[in-house]
Amino acid sequence: MTLRPRRSALFLPASNARAIEKARGLPCDVVILDLEDAVAPAQKVAARDAAVAAVRAGGFGARELVVRVNGSDTEWGAGDLAALGRSGVAAVLLPKVGDADTLHRARARLGDGPALWAMIESCDGVLALREIAAAAPATGLAALVIGPNDLARELRCRPGADRAPLWPILGQVVLAARAAGLVALDGVINTLDDLDAIAAECRQGRDWGFDGKTLIHPAQIAPANDAFGPTAAEIAAACVLADAFIGREDDGAIRIDGRMVERLHLEAARRTLALAEAIAARN
């Protein structure tokens, strides 16, 4: 089993050359160059050119490089996709995906190039999750990403520290991603200085089943990496379980330390070990 860690996915403005250079040395798993929310209208075209130049220049090492484009309903969306199709970027993140047609149109403009990631940040997107996920094989969709700020605005809800108003949507996004074999990334937290609050929300996202979290500041990387990576105790337990099944691969269930474990637990253990190995290799 080969896994790619996506514990921490850091957004940064594609218009900020200094931030891009700094990102080449940060310990995040994913770098997302943003052409949308973080870039003023007057800078959109220059930011697009900068993003393409950064992708072609490389230097990001094992970090997965993604570009978030402007929406298809803006004057910059089509140009963003046309510029990125042959750039060599790993994935293009589409904002405010509300239906599967958005994915098909983006794929047609990109050609056979980068994978698609879809931001679920509107009521339409949540209601269309099934069709969006089902379009993955035909469109190259690889990940679903929560957009909590836009969701809260549309819903007119007021998420507190526990994000309770968004719980139904968090669960639906993870469910849709798992059913389609996609990556699921939790949304950003706007807190910058309270590391305990950041760590708590990262752990919450992990407990919901997300693979990682999108971030807006380098200070958030360490809490995300800690939360979404297996602990030493989890790795040790996975080793014990995997070793116990050696020579007993045909057994449906076995006894370990006074409890019964089944093959589904073995698969989970193997995934934990594969993720730990991938993180160690990346580091």
Structural domain boundaries in the chain: 8-228, 232-282
- In this prediction, residue 83 carries a pLDDT of 96
Q: How far apart are CA 102 and CA 118, in angstroms?
A: 9
The annotation places the binding site for Mg(2+) at 121, 150
Task: Give the per-residue pLDDT at 1.
Answer: 64
Q: Quote the pTM value.
A: 0.95
The torsion angles phi and psi of 98, rounded to 5 degrees, stand at -115, -5
- The contacts of residue 143 (CB under 8 Å, 6+ apart) are 6, 91, 115, 117, 118, 177, 182, 183, 184, 185
Rounded to the nearest angstrom, the gap between the alpha carbon of residue 20 and the centroid of all alpha carbons in its chain is 19
Beta-bridged to residue 186, according to DSSP, are 213
Q: Report the binding-site residues for substrate.
A: 68, 121
Output the six-digit token pair for 212: 């990682």
pLDDT tens-digit profile, the chain (283 residues): 678 999 999 999 999 999 999 999 999 999 999 999 999 999 999 999 999 999 999 999 999 999 999 999 999 999 999 999 989 999 999 999 999 999 999 999 999 889 999 999 999 999 999 999 999 999 999 999 999 999 999 999 999 999 999 999 999 999 999 999 999 999 999 999 999 999 999 999 999 999 999 999 999 999 999 999 999 999 999 998 888 888 776 777 788 777 878 878 888 999 999 999 999 998 8
**CATH 3.20.20.60 for domain 8-228:** yes
Task: Return the bridge partners of 254, or none.
Answer: 261
Is 29:8 a contact under the CB 8 Å cutoff?
Answer: yes
pLDDT of residue 258: 73
The binding site comprises 68, 121, 150
pLDDT number for residue 262: 81
